Structure 1
Amino acid sequence: MLRIQPLATGTSDVIVALVPNTTFGANLQDVVDVLTAELARVGLTLVLRFSSSPVELLEHFITTIRPRAVIAPFVAATAAERESIEASGVTLIDLAAAEDVNYRIGRLQGEHLASKGYQNLVYAHLHDARLDVYGDSRERGLADYCRESGRAAPKSIRLSVDLLDAVSVLSGLPRGVAIACYNDDVAVALLAAAREIKRRVPEVVALLGVDATRIGALMAPRLTTISVDTTIALQALVHDIVSRLSSSAAADSLNDLLALTVIPGGSA
């Protein structure tokens, strides 16, 4: 196992992870749990910090605890965050700055829906931008796939995980659409709305979620969704962090190590 060098004067054994200001679902919680345990094995303590916090608060936080490093495993550091961290003399390991796995998710949603014969594609965001931190990247991936495959640009919709809102949004769409949903919660809301207004799934409206949640598997029809396997990427992430702190080696992009799999269901 790689071991880090002795602590630099004035620094702690803390690693600060910039995380999106979003609800912690099971998948994100699993990643944090594994990352915490693996870093502890090499004597490092993980502390989470919302990436959307004012940069002045981040600067005060860093200068107070003097972390060994700041990592951005989920969302790329902003220009202001990068400048503040680097000015403090703390190592920044920005593993989210390369090609976004969320872009790949959007493309995969497009590929799967197209493979089922759907032509009219829609992207469904969560209405609350705080909870929809990956939506723009996913929609961009879907839009690029549509353009490259000669399809019309996908329509963009936003809804809350609320039956009345979902019914209102779905009622405004034509029949025969296939909806790439931000996550399983959005897909479940639209599935309930489709039942409410008597639109058959997947014959009249198709729904494709993300996250492979347990609740999606309990729906009727069972939700078709995308699973993100982080096992290999997490191992590589810890290795990269320790390598960087030991030898200043450049951190590799881990996005290609995140395995994406369509979990078949009855909704798309």
Structure 2
Amino acid sequence: MSAPIDEAGRPLLRPGWQVARFDDQHLQVGLDAPARVVLTDSPDVRRLLSLLADPDAAWEPPSSLLAMRALDGLHRAGLLVRLPASALETRLAAVHGVSAPGRVAARRLARVSVDAPADVSETLAAMLRSEGVRPVTNAASVVLVLARGAVRRGRLDDLLQGGRPHLVVSGLPTGWEVGPFVSPGQTACVRCVDAARAERDPRRAVVADQLARSSAPVPVSPTLQTAALALAVREIVSYVDGDVPTTWSTSLLLGPSGAPEVRRWPRHPLCGCAWDVVLAEEPEARG
């Protein structure tokens, strides 16, 4: 299998990954499997590793069998990338390896909007820009909706009806709820969550709607708010990159202590967004 190279035929060791001594006859690149490889130590292999670690060095393909095997082993372990074209690509290459250029391109083309109070909206926008995503104010393909307190369901209905993916974030007195990430027709929506919670508390949605309409301030921990905003941006960027967000049909509850609580939500048969599932199951029930 050939190593990934850029147009000039130049592979590079994954940024941030270093060479260490494994024993007196071997070197190791990477720490934990699968992104780890043990190489036979030799002058040719050390020279190869030196070239791969220096983007300014003139590239020379390996000529010895040991060095060629080392290059192939590095490639198989996902430790080689093309020469990054930007600081963002360098950072993404360290984390994601060869998929970094595609992620940079996806983020450049993404149309993400933020629907949040003014004092946090710019913070969220700045976080998105730091990840290579420029927020837009119209024609968004994915929306981050945030409220201190419960999110008013009317803010989400147009997104759901328009088939527009969105992430819901709520700041509550007891902590922050990040999620669910809603992909209409694929995941649970917020009204599915309401229906599931109504099985234990039938009047909860009525009360939550009143609280969402209230203008009373909701005190929140600034530390938890920062954590929630960062997590929300990570979830949006994950979706833009083509990954499945952790909050896909899931809520993460960030409280003042302990690990985040994870709650998974199925599409609810009493919610209108899940009627396609109900109708698809009806013939089977009749049969």
Q: Normalised by the size of structure 2, how large is the TM-score?
A: 0.26
**Larger relative contact order (CA 8 Å, sep ≥ 6):** 1
Larger radius of gyration: 2
